[in-house]
Amino acid sequence: MPAQQVRSCMDTNDNFKFWQQHKTSSYVHFARKTKLHHFNMGEFLLAKHAIAYPDPTQHALKTEFSRLWKVNPDWLSLGCGSDEIIETIPRIFLNSGDTALVVTPTFFRFLDATRKIGASVIEIATEKEKGFNVTEMTISDIIRVTHEKNVKLIWLCNPNNPTGNIIQESLIAKLVNSIKTLVVIDEAFFGLSPISNMMRLLVSTRNNIILLRSMSKIDGLAGLRIGIAISNSEIIKVFEEWRLPFNIPKLSLDFAVNHLKNIRKLKPNTKFINHERTRILESIRLSKHLKLGGQSQTSIFLLRHKKQNLFDLLLKQGILGADMSNTPGLERLGFVRLTIKSKRENDFLLMTLRKIDACVI
């Protein structure tokens, strides 16, 4: 599909004209194929590996992700963490006054980034009594509201943050195939849950889906600030024109490439997290006063106390959770989001929770 058709196909905004007029210099394409001796940037030779500017094409890291996930490198755009990509999406695909949709509870950054550009957000709530799961009825509601309200952008999390729940791939496929609206699926916890890499097949056949992934969770490399957008090549062209040419530091890029070349060593970490999650959640289910929210299949989970403020109880014992009491869809329910950590830390958490449940503290 020609780049000039992206606007009509995706219902993008007036900023489309901007990125067409401000294309990256063709030098970057030449530099990818040719070894250049740089005398043009005014650097001072102090550190051999830190002196060079990052590769603006980010070719080496994209190649590693392409190999790992079996996707075309032209389907990839990298951001300074997923945050940068989330912030950019509404600026590209929405105008002030447009409407986006989220399924709550969800990652708060979706709402923040959307509202910053003057767009409104429709919230479709999942039910506490059904474990905050996205069901067939939820998808039907999304499709109906999208048509009725002329929704231009849909945000989803899979696995969901903060519940850790998984949306069935068949439900996502039904949604994407039923509408033309752009659907963004944040897969930040990809690799820490049983979701497969099958969503990439939708990317190859549909022009209205963007997947977001991260090196912060499964790789444990949040400090590198590397987020990834996966979509068809025409949408990725838009991202590449919008992002800053040096948005990720060279040291982060080099470290990430080396890390991905040794990715097989990470498998025991995934097994450990799955084992620890099962151990922790099974213990919590035996408690009298503690209640899980959702059926987490990743490294985070929701928990509340039936009668007391769990966030405060944990904080008094030196455990800082994420207070979800003001999160859309979880307001005033008393939920705290907790994370699977090391065995020693998990043991301390379980010991503290047992004391709280027994009203010892």
Q: What one-character-per-residue DSSP string does 152-182 give? A: -EEEEESS-TTT-----HHHHHHHHHH--SE
Domain containing residue 199: 3-261
Mean pLDDT of 80-94: 97
Percentage of residues of the chain with pLDDT beyond 70 = 84
Distance CA 92, CA 275 (A): 41
Distance CA 201, CA 89 (A): 21
The verdict on 55 and 69 lying in the same domain is yes
Q: Is residue 318 within 8 Å of residue 311, measured between CB atoms?
A: no
pLDDT at position 343 is 95
Instruction: Find the range with the poorest average confidence among 27-31, 64-68, 271-275.
Output: 27-31
Mean pLDDT of 337-342: 95
In this model, does residue 286 exceed pLDDT 90? yes
pLDDT tens by residue, 110-148: 999 999 999 999 999 999 999 999 999 999 999 999 999
Q: Which of 261, 285, 313 is the last residue of a domain?
A: 261
In this model, does residue 13 exceed pLDDT 70? no
The verdict on 233 and 278 lying in the same domain is no
In this model, does residue 353 exceed pLDDT 50? yes
pLDDT at position 193 is 78
Q: List beta partners, residue 255.
A: none
The verdict on 272 and 222 lying in the same domain is no
Mean pLDDT of 211-218: 92
The verdict on 182 and 135 lying in the same domain is yes
Query: Residue 251 — pLDDT band, cuts 50, 70, 90?
Result: very high
On the 0-12 / 13-18 / 19+ scale of CB atoms within 10 A, 314 is buried
**φ/ψ (deg, to 5) at 76:** -115, 135
In this model, does residue 39 exceed pLDDT 90? no
Split into its structural domains, the chain has a count of 2
Identify the three-state secondary structure at position 301: strand
The mean pLDDT value of the chain amounts to 87
Percentage of residues of the chain with pLDDT beyond 90 = 73
CATH number at residue 107: 3.40.640.10
pLDDT at position 270 is 80
Query: Residue 204 — pLDDT band, cuts 50, 70, 90?
Result: confident
Q: List beta partners, residue 122.
A: 101
The verdict on 256 and 272 lying in the same domain is no
Mean pLDDT of 251-256: 94
Q: Which of 211, 232, 261 is the last residue of a domain?
A: 261
The verdict on 90 and 196 lying in the same domain is yes
In this model, does residue 238 exceed pLDDT 60? yes
Distance CA 258, CA 264 (A): 12
Give the position of tokens 């009298």.
288
The verdict on 10 and 50 lying in the same domain is yes
Distance CA 181, CA 184 (A): 10
In this model, does residue 172 exceed pLDDT 60? yes
In this model, does residue 181 exceed pLDDT 60? yes
The verdict on 102 and 32 lying in the same domain is yes
What pTM did the predictor assign? 0.84
Say which residue, 44 or 314, is predicted with more confidence: 314
In this model, does residue 33 exceed pLDDT 70? no
pLDDT at position 95 is 98
Say which residue, 216 or 197, is predicted with more confidence: 216
Structure tokens at 126: 């999942």
In this model, does residue 34 exceed pLDDT 80? no
Query: Residue 323 — pLDDT band, cuts 50, 70, 90?
Result: very high
CATH number at residue 316: 3.90.1150.10
pLDDT at position 107 is 95
pLDDT at position 218 is 83
pLDDT at position 201 is 80
In this model, does residue 25 exceed pLDDT 90? no
pLDDT at position 266 is 60
